[in-house]
Structure 1
Amino acid sequence: MRKVKFTVSIGLVGCRREDIFEFDCDITDEEIQQAYTDWMYEQIDGGWEDVD
């Protein structure tokens, strides 16, 4: 098993999230990066809108 910690933060106190995941030993760094990207987008909520 390969154990990896994912983290995301917006730089404010208390605004950090981390989770530890275990992957098969044969997973590639690219697959881990894709898993991290998917996880990160599940952790944040944001968007934009026009304002007057």
Structure 2
Amino acid sequence: MRKIKFTISIGLVGCRREDTFEFDDDTVDEEIQQAYTDWMYEQIDGGWEEVEE
């Protein structure tokens, strides 16, 4: 098993998230990168909106 830690931070104290996942030995880096991307987008919430001045 490959044990991989995913982390994300926005640079503010206390604004860091990490989770550890296990992948089969034959999992390629591209599959892990896709899993990380999916995990990352599940962790963040944001968007944009127009404001009037």
Q: CA deviation at 1:49?
A: 0.5
Superimposed CA distance per residue, residues 10-46 of structure 1 (whole angstroms, 9 cap, x where no aligned partner):
0000000000000000000000000000000000000
| TM-score normalised by the chain length of structure 1 | 0.99
| TM-score normalised by the chain length of structure 2 | 0.97
The aligned amino acid for 1:13 is V
Which blocks of at least 5 consecutive residues in structure 1 are unaligned? none
The aligned amino acid for 1:18 is E
Which blocks of at least 5 consecutive residues in structure 2 are unaligned? none
Give RMSD over aligned pairs. Answer: 0.3
* Higher CA-based Rg: 2
